[in-house]
Structure 1
């Protein structure tokens, strides 16, 4: 349910020709806004339960967004453009620690379904090579957009009467067709 709510919220975003880092930051900021709109406390780059690999094993990794809620367990959200094994491992560890794990996965290809209990929040974009030769990404929001404007005058139609001859479905008997 939470994943679908976040997905619907994110689908309202519109942007054109943004680099990968910009798209990731837009999605993180929109996730923060979504959580705040629910009345939850939000932490960017929150400490994870997962330690960093050597030589930094004394430090903890971070999640993109940590969310504290009164009405449920904490949420952790990771935003990624690629299928990263480390992200999945981190989200599985977060879920094992009692947090709900959401993975906002964006891109132009197919999205791999993560293992339970991670909830995938897909965010498809259109990707192409920009004028500089670098990959750029675009998304047209599908949220609350106004209806398109229509012309004030309706197109004129001409009614043409045609003589089709006798009606073959009139047999003269009620409830019977053809004759």
Structure 2
């Protein structure tokens, strides 16, 4: 299997795993942590060695040039190149640069982008997985709260035309003034 097809397959698999993710009223950092935990669980289910905050091939920008960036999740696979995953709620150019450097080093680079929508597209060879959440204002000083309920945006089920045995009421109903006392 070529690298592009492998990356697409892995991104689709991770997307399916994240599709089951649900939470209510979490702050930004807590959502990111929950998604990272889900990525770690997905990778563990594949039988891979999983590393959180693994060293990236990309150095930090000045004045920290002597240090390396870190990745949210890195995975060692026995049957293919390593997989690296970054999780973000914003479009960060630095994330793209880091993942592009990882892909150039032979790794499968996946960017998990979460938020309320309007996701940009990651440049090739980065594979993108999106995780749609809703958000609302939290209590004063708490920032935004995010929720995700898979299936909540599904259309209502079709109505049955079976007769239920109930009696239909004619509308409009008489007001209480019209009823005899």
Q: TM-score range by the shorter chain?
A: 0.7 to 0.9
| Alignment TM-score, normalising by the size of structure 2 | 0.78
| Alignment TM-score, normalising by the size of structure 1 | 0.79
**Residue ranges of structure 1 left out of the alignment (5+ in a row):** 143-147, 158-179
Identify, as 1 or 2, the structure richer in helix.
Answer: 2
Tell me the alpha carbon deviations over residues 130-173 of structure 1, each in whole angstroms, 9 at most, x when there is no partner: 2336211000134xxxxx9xxxx97249xxxxxxxxxxxxxxxx
Mapped pair 1:49 → 2:57: yes
Distance in 2 (CA, whole Å) between partners of 1:7 and 1:140 is: 15
Which residue does 1:3 correspond to in 2? 11
With 126-135 and 27-36 compared, the bigger mean Cα shift is at: 126-135
Q: After superposition, where does 1:160-171 map in structure 2 within 5 Å?
A: none
Distance in 2 (CA, whole Å) between partners of 1:10 and 1:111 is: 16
**Residue ranges of structure 2 left out of the alignment (5+ in a row):** 1-8, 152-156, 167-181
Which residue does 1:85 correspond to in 2? 93
Distance in 2 (CA, whole Å) between partners of 1:120 and 1:110 is: 13
- TM-align CA RMSD: 2.0
Larger Rg: 1
Residue correspondences, number: 149
Distance in 2 (CA, whole Å) between partners of 1:125 and 1:32 is: 20
* 1:74, distance to aligned residue in structure 2 (A): 0.3
Q: Secondary structure at the match of 1:78?
A: strand
